[in-house]
Amino acid sequence: MNSLKLIKLEWLKYRHNKAIWLSLLGFVIVLLIIMLAYAQMDVKMSSGPQGGLIDLKKNISFPEIWEFTGYIGGNWIGFFIVGFLGTYLMATEIAQKTARQQIISGLSRGQYLLSKLLFFRNIATILTIFYVVVVLFIGFTKSYDSVGEGIWLTMGWMALRFFVMTMLYIFLGGLFGLLFKKTIMAFLFYLFYGIFLEPVIRWYIHPNFAPESWNRFYPMNAAEDLMPSPGQRISQFDELLQDGSLYLTANQALITSIVYLIIIFTLMYGLMQRKNV
C-alpha cells in the first residue's frame, strides 16, 4: 500500500475525532492570545540583569519574533499539545484494538507504523503553518520596526526548525504511547521525562560519566534549543554562550533532532515487530 493510501486511511479514521481537532484549534488560539497579550504590554523596557535595558517589544519585531513565537508555541504550548497527540494517537489504537484489526485486515506492522508516522508528519505540518501565520500576523500588525527584506528567507529556516521540533515531540509521545499502550499513563510519563527525568540525568547523572558539555545533546533539550529561550540574548548568559555550555546552536540542534527522529523511528519499528498489539 502506497503512502497516499495510508494517509487517506488515517484521514478517514480521524476526520471526525474531536480530541485532535480541539487540540489543533487550542494550539492556534492559545498561541494567538499569548502573542496578542504580549504585544499589548505597556512596558516596553525592562532592567537587565546587569543594569542594562532590554527592549521587550523587540521580541515581536522581525526577525526576533520568529524565535520568540517558536519558543512560546513550541517549547510551551506545543510541548504539551503535540506530546499529548503523539501518545493519544498511538496508545488509543492499541488499547482499543484498532491497530490489531488493521493488521488482521491486511496491513503489515511496518505499514501500520508508517501510516501513523505520516499522520504525525501531517500534524506537524499543520502546526507549522499555524506558527508561520501567527508570526506574520503579529509581526505585520504589531511590530513597531520596519519589516526587513530578508523576512521570507528567515521564514523558511524558522519554519523548518519549528517543524522538526514538533516532529520530535510527537515522535517521543508516540514512542511512549507504544510502550505503555494507555494514553494517560503514556502522557504522564512523557511529561515526567521532559520536565523532570531528562533534566535530572543531564545535570546530576551525566557529569559523572561524560563531559558536561555533552549534556546538551539529549532529545528534549535538542528540541528546545531549536527555539531557545529569549533569555539567551540577555547579557548574564554571554559567558556561558561563548564557551558553548548552555545552548546548542541552531544547526547543532537541527542535526541532533533529526538523528533522534531516526533513532525513535527505529525503536518504534522494533517494538511494533515484537509487541502484541
Q: What are phi and psi of 44, to 5 degrees?
A: -95, -25
Q: pLDDT digit string (tens) for 146-169?
A: 565 567 778 999 999 999 999 999
Read off the pTM. Answer: 0.91
Ranges of the chain with pLDDT below 70: 1, 42-55, 144-150, 231-245, 277
**Beta strand segments in 38-187, E:** 45-47, 53-55
Cell (9 digits) for 235: 547579557
What span, in angstroms and rounded, lies between the C-alpha atoms of 258 and 164?
7
- Closest to 20 (Cα-Cα) out of 106, 111, 73, 90: 90
Residues paired with residue 53 on neighbouring β-strands, in sequence order? 47
Tell me what pLDDT residue 235 has: 43
Tell me what pLDDT residue 55 has: 64
Taking the alpha carbons of 246, 221, 78, 195 in that order, is the dihedral positive or negative? Answer: negative
Tell me what pLDDT residue 236 has: 44
